[in-house]
Structure 1
Amino acid sequence: MRTVVLTMKASVIEMFLVLLVTGVHSNKETAKKIKRPKFTVPQINCDVKAGKIINPEFIVKCPAGCQDPKYHVYGTDVYASYSSVCGAAVHSGVLDNSGGKILVRKVAGQSGYKGSYSNGVQSLSLPRWRESFIVLESKPKKGVTYPSALTYSSSKSPVAQADLWSTTTYTSSQNRPGADPGEMDSWKPGSVLLDEGLVPKEELSTQSLEPVSLGDPNCKIDLSFLIDGSTSIGKRRFRIQKQLLAEVAQALDIGPGGPLMGVVQYGDNPATHFNLKTHMNSRDLKTAIEKITQRGGLSNVGRAISFVTKNFFSKANGNRSGAPNVVVVMVDGWPTDKVEEASRLARESGINIFFITIEGAAENEKQYVVEPNFANKAVCRTNGFYSFHVQSWFGLHKTLQPLVKRVCDTDRLACSKTCLNSADIGFVIDGSSSVGTGNFRTVLQFVTNLTKEFEISDTDTRIGAVQYTYEQRLEFGFDKYSSKPDILSAIKRVGYWSGGTSTGAAINFALEQLFKKSKPNKRKLMILITDGRSYDDVRIPAMAAHLKGVITYAIGVAWAAQEELEVIATHPARDHSFFVDEFDNLYQYVPRIIQNICTEFNSQPRN
């Protein structure tokens, strides 16, 4: 009996084991048959903004063609969430214009999004935004699940929200419903809350809720485009010209803290379409450019440049004293009047002139050109920086990026007035017997060291020199030499005269022989060097110099009278008079004199 029971138990156990093994095998087969769901990458359009997607991190696929400037991008590397996701991907270099997959990660909002041009996309600047994002290559992290479908924010009408907020007054984050404390710290009266952040009420429009850029601070220029509206250009070429203007307006990132741009069209006579303060952002400026119509007439470029010099760059038209003035002149073929004199006056007013010439005269047309080589005569440097020549109108678009780069390169805008390129400087040098031959050479070296600091040319700083004893001698006038090497050679050739010390008569002589021939719009600087007390009175001549607007620096050596130096010097005397015990110490004052000249210049309006 016991044996039978044991046999039955063994059978039951054996059956259980068989069932167990069979079940495990069945589960494995079932597991093999059940495949994990495949991850589907969501696709978005070029105009989708990161702020509309709620997911903090996601992978998406962008289509081709997102390089188009209509898909606005704000920032560099880190982008404001008001940006086009795919546009930012192209700008960052993660994608090219053919599209593809990207990884997007949300990060905290920032202050001061900086615009830049990269990979064919011009991003814009933005003062602040509540949320940012970065774009990476689509390499998923291990263990991170990315959504196959994106979650979008509510489609409530932003305008309705704006109206709601603008009719209610809130003073702090504590009594505003749904306020983000960090965001509300920067709340200002007259601002409205949208899904993406705070926007000043005046920036709202029923047409567009896009944030308005303050402009690129690295390109703070006042720019006038002089466009060719003459009959000979034709309607098709005129449209191509306007297209370049619109592209420049987009690339520059127009705004009150950056570049401002106006447009003047010329034909028989010039006319301003809009000035510097008419349109304060790239979007409005592009719209205005599209509405410009052709005027017709001749191609009177010289008349147009004169018009811009006299009328365009005024405070009433939005000109800013701290921003360089730039004029870009576009010419189809050649002008029907002369440009050299008008351009010279413009440059001497501190205007940087760029010329874009398209096509030009054929061999059988050159007889009709009024002023051969007109572009080189118009610009202040003939090194190619200020001029572009385009063989065909259909290649005009190729000038866009080099033009934008050059007009924004404020360090190289050499025609703009600075303390080093906008003066007529007359040296009045004591050649009396007490100086001596050796010390006189030291004085000339001091004059050389000062001169080297300035930009010398006929349209920049000009140098003249007078030597005096009892008598006076004009060594060279302002119009004698127009290059730095020639001036330095001329200073070196000045011969020591020897005699008495009539400083008052020397000042009068310099006013008559040097500064009377100074150009009206030049700053006039007199730098007088003497080693002793004058035999004649200096007070009346010094007063005459001051009344005529000549800024006078008096440098005394050894036996020079300090009170006399202070009478000669422009007020305040502490900034314009200097004294050294020995001639060999003169060199020490070069940096200080240059600094004082520039400090005084920079305290005045630039243009």
Structure 2
Amino acid sequence: MGTVVLTMKASVIEMFLVLLVTGIHSNKEMTKKIKRLKFNVPQINCDVKAGKIINPEFIVKCPAGCQDPKYHVYGTDVYASYSSVCGAAVHSGVLDNSGGKILVRKVAGQSGYKGSYSNGVQSLSLPRWRESFIVSESKPQKGVTYPSALTYSSSKTPAAKADLWSTPTYTSSQNRPGANPGVQRQDSSGAAFQKPVGADVSLGEMDFWKPGSVLLDAGFVPKEELSTQSLEPVSLGDPNCKVDLSFLIDGSSSIGKRRFRIQKQFLADIAQALDIGPAGPLMGVVQYGDNPATHFNLRTHTNSRDLKTAIEKITQRGGLANAGRAISFVTKNFFSKANGNRGGSPNVAVVLVDGWPTDKVEEASRLARESGINIFFITIEGAVENEKQYVLEPNFVNKAVCRTNGFYSFHVQSWFGLHKTLQPLVKRVCDTERLACSKTCLNSADIGFVIDGSSSVGTGNFRTVLQFVANLSKEFEISDTDTRVGAVQYTYEQRLEFGFDKYSSKADVLNAIKRVGYWSGGTSTGAAINYALEQLFQKSKPNKRKLMILITDGRSYDDVRIPALAAHLKVITYAVGVAWAAQEELEVIATHPARDHSFFADDFDNLYQYVPRIIRNICTEFNSQPRN
């Protein structure tokens, strides 16, 4: 009997072990199957905006082709939720134009979004937005569950699109009915929403552009990312591209209607890529044929959307291709304050030419450059061999622009290749540091006055010297981006009266000159030159011409030769001597040739006569130098 019992117990144990092993094996198989199940990544289109997706963090797959400018992106690194998700991914460098998977994480709204050009995408600037997002590679983070299907903020049905607001979505228990009793109101479309007690809001008073407005803070989610669906956020413009821009388009009869439409589409794409706005670039259009005419100036349209609409309405004028006449027209009329010119911004004129101009452009372009206008030429197709006899100025482009290294000119073999110049052109017109043609002799320098304050000058004559310094300064266009002025006074010792970054207007500079106090002492001109190089010109901007104008009334007590040689390597030196100054010493101090850079007045009262000569020599030298 005992044996039977033991046998039965063994059988039960054996069966239990079999079941246990079978269960473990089954669990392992199940675990393997679960591990083999792939995460379903939602696919979205290029035009899907982050604000349409409610999920705070998600992984999606973008298609190819999202680099297109029509998929708007706002910001850099951190993007406004009105941006295309996939467009932002391309801009940030997480994806290329072939598409792929990305991880998107929502973050708080920003007080400003900076536009930039990156990876073939021009993002736009935006003053503020209520929600942002960040894009990164699609590496799932531990402990985070990503949705296999996205939740959108509104239905795609026409009925839903007709409503301005959806049924209220409550973001916290405080906003739920009962927790915070409120008053039922209706918006203009008849949709009811809950107004929390104490929130004094009407739709007519709503600031639709302001993030965190009362309705949104109360927990209401609009059916669309914007409360006014027909509008997109209006950018203030890209502050890194603050230029005043004129496009001169070819409306001559020879261009034909089809190519004229291609030209207009190119302009519209430029307007979009530039991120037009009052804090960034402004753009106007002049069409030329027999005679030029302005379609709109710099102040007419101050955002890319309105500008594109205006460009679409331009009609062809016909006639000859008188580009030279158009350039002269722009020089005299377009860049005026009345037409929206902002003064401190570089002036740029882009001339499109189909074939060749029917008049001369070289002289008109030179006068435009001397007026501070950067002239760009885009020539399309050009004259064939049997047409070259009709070209008035062979090689007219190289003669018309201020550089011959290709910076200011593009040649396109066919109108169908015009779009390839878009991004290179945008990059160049926004490169304000390289726009040398907008720099004339009067708005491109850092001018340092080195003033002799020795005892031999005397108080009365010193005031005359200061008036001479003021008269020279008056001739220049002074601002923080144009010509800047600084001053050093010296005797045995030296004193920095004011540096280049101290004053940014002509009135402030002239007042500062008047306030300089007479020092009195010896005359150590060599030491003064060294001091000016170290304490004044050391802080000059790299792209500025550096002019030192030294005024002295006597021979120096120290050696000037070595300091003068050091100065010649860094600045252009003008030496102005009065009364007892030594002529040979002035010639040593002055930049070669000395006859153009040294001046001598026998009396302080005659100093004023040299102002026109010094200004003329400064401008002659500037205009004679290649600006490559």
Most deviating of 191-200 and 250-259: 191-200
Give the deviation of 1:307 after TM superposition.
1.5
CA distance, structure 1, for counterparts of residue 478 and residue 499 of structure 2: 14
Q: How far did 1:66 drift? A: 1.5
CA deviations 1:466-486 (Å, max 9, x no partner) are 999999999999999999999
8 Å contact kept, 1:213–1:254: yes
Cα shift at 1:371: 2.8
- Counterpart contact for 2:335–2:347, Cα < 8 Å: yes
Distance in 2, Cα, partners of 1:159 & 1:579: 86
User: In 2, Cα distance between the equivalents of 1:543 and 1:27?
Assistant: 88
Q: How does 1:242-391 map to 2 (within 5 A)?
A: 242-391=264-413
Counterpart contact for 1:103–1:135, Cα < 8 Å = yes
Question: What is the SS of the residue equivalent to 2:112?
Answer: strand
Moved more, 114-123 or 482-491: 482-491
**Structure 1 residues 321 and 481, CA gap change in structure 2 (3 angstroms):** closer
Question: Is the alpha carbon distance of 1:259 and 1:581 closer, same or farther for their aligned partners in structure 2, counting shifts above 3 Å?
Answer: same
Q: CA deviation at 1:218?
A: 0.6
Match of 2:481 in 1: 459
Q: Is the 8 A contact 1:359 1:392 kept in 2?
A: yes
The TM-score, its normalising length taken from structure 2, stands at: 0.63
- Partners of 1:143 and 1:172 lie apart in 2 by 24
Tell me: CA distance 1:589–1:155, structure 2 relative to 1, closer, same or farther (3 Å). Answer: farther
Q: What's the C-alpha RMSD, in Å, of the aligned pairs?
A: 13.4
- Cα distance in structure 2, aligned partners of 1:102 and 1:85: 9
In 2, Cα distance between equivalents of 1:84 and 1:177: 35
Could you say if the C-alpha distance between residues 174 and 249 of structure 1 is closer, same or farther in structure 2, counting changes exceeding 3 Å? farther
Distance (whole Å) between structure 1 residues aligned to residue 525 and residue 211 of structure 2: 65
Whether the aligned pair in 1 keeps the contact of 2:207 and 2:213 (CA below 8 Å) is: no
Judge conservation of contact 1:569–1:577 (CA < 8 Å) in 2.
yes
**Matched residue SS, 1:384:** coil
Q: CA deviation at 1:117?
A: 1.8
Find the residue that maps to 1:179 and give its secondary structure. Answer: coil
Displacement of 1:339: 2.1
Matched position secondary structure for 1:244: helix
Is residue 348–residue 521 contact of structure 1 (8 Å, CA) maintained in 2? Answer: no
Q: Is the contact made by 2:344 and 2:481 (CA closer than 8 Å) also made in structure 1?
A: no
Structure 2 CA distance for partners of 1:438 and 1:165, relative to 1, 3 Å:
closer
1:84 CA displacement: 0.8
Q: Which of these residues, 415, 426, 437, is aligned with residue 404 of structure 1? A: 426
Q: Which moved more, 1:295-304 or 1:33-42?
A: 33-42
Shift in Å, 1:214: 1.0
Question: Which deviates more, 464-473 or 521-530?
Answer: 464-473
On the 8 A contact 2:209/2:233 being kept in 1, the answer is: no
- Residue 299 of structure 1, CA deviation: 0.9
Deviation string, structure 1 residues 413-437 (Cα, Å, up to 9, x no partner): 1222466557999999999999999
Percent identical among aligned pairs is 92
Deviates more, 1:352-361 or 1:105-114: 105-114
Whether the 8 Å CA contact 2:52–2:225 is kept in 1: the answer is no
Which of 125-134 and 565-574 deviates more?
A: 565-574
Give per-residue Cα distances to partners, 1:257-298, cap 9 Å, x unaligned: 100101010001111111112221112212221221111001
Preserved contact between residue 355 and residue 375 of structure 1 (Cα < 8 Å): yes
| Segment drifting more, 297-306 vs 510-519 | 510-519
Offset, 1:239: 1.8
Secondary structure of 1:418's counterpart equals coil
Mean alpha-carbon deviation: is it higher for 109-118 or for 467-476?
Answer: 467-476
Contact 2:370 2:440 in 1 (8 A): no
**Whole-Å separation in 2 of the counterparts to 1:502 and 1:32:** 89
Assess, with a 3 A threshold, how the Cα gap between structure 1 residues 439 and 409 changes in structure 2: closer, same or farther: same
8 Å CA contact retained: 1:190, 1:201: no
Deviation at 1:236, TM superposition (A): 1.9
Rate the CA distance shift 1:173–1:446 in 2: closer, same or farther, 3 A: farther
- Cα separation, partners in 2 of 1:430 and 1:156, compared to 1, 3 Å: closer
Distance in structure 2 (CA, Å) of the matches to 1:461 and 1:255: 26
Structure 1 unmatched ranges of 5 or more: none
1:526 deviates by 13
The residue matched to 1:237 in structure 2 has which SS? helix
Task: Please report how far the alpha carbon of residue 326 of structure 1 lies from its aligned counterpart in structure 2 after TM superposition.
Answer: 0.8
Residue 100 in structure 1 maps to residue 122 in structure 2 = no
The Cα shift of 1:49 comes to 1.0
Alignment of 1:58-457 (within 5 A): 58-155=58-155, 208-417=230-439
The Cα shift of 1:531 comes to 2.7
Once the two structures are superposed, what CA deviation does each residue of 1:341-397 show, in whole Å capped at 9, x if it has no partner?
322332222211111122222232222222333323322333322222223323222
Cα shift at 1:52: 1.7
| Alignment partners' CA distance in 2, 1:138 and 1:260 | 39
In structure 2, relative to structure 1, the CA distance for the partners of 1:354 and 1:23 (3 Å cut) is closer
Distance 1:29 1:331, change over 3 A: closer
Q: Report the more deviating stretch, 239-248 or 496-505.
A: 496-505
1:556 maps to which residue? 577
Shift of 1:316: 2.2
1:38 aligned counterpart, secondary structure = coil
In the alignment, structure 2 segments of 5+ residues that lack a partner are 182-203
Deviation at 1:557, TM superposition (A): 6.4
| Change in 2 beyond 3 A, CA 1:31/1:99 | closer
Aligned pair in 2 of structure 1 residues 333, 184: CA closer, same or farther (>3 Å)? closer
Matches of 1:512 and 1:62 in 2, distance apart? Answer: 56
2:610 aligned to 583, 589, 597, which one? Answer: 589
CA deviation vs aligned residue, 1:72-102 (integer Å, no higher than 9, x gap): 1111222221111111112222222222222
The C-alpha deviation readout for 1:436-466, integer Å capped at 9, x for no partner, is 9999999999999999999999999999999
Q: Deviations over 1:8-35 (max 9, x none)?
A: 7777767766766676677777777888
2:243–2:430 CA contact under 8 A, matched in 1: yes
List per-residue Cα deviations over 1:20-74 (Å, max 9, x = no partner): 6676677777777888754211111111111221222211111222222111111
Distance 1:526 1:293, change over 3 A: same
Query: CA 1:503–1:207 in 2, change beyond 3 Å: closer, same or farther?
Result: same
In structure 2, the CA distance between the partners of 1:448 and 1:136, relative to structure 1 (3 Å rule), is same
Greater CA drift, 511-520 or 66-75: 511-520
> Post-superposition shift, 1:202?
18
Shift of 1:144: 3.2
My pick for the range that moved more, 444-453 or 105-114, is 444-453
Maintained 8 Å contact 2:443/2:477: yes
Q: 2:383 & 2:535 partners in 1: Cα distance?
A: 45
- The answer to which of 344-353 and 445-454 deviates more is 445-454
Question: TM-score scaled by structure 1?
Answer: 0.65
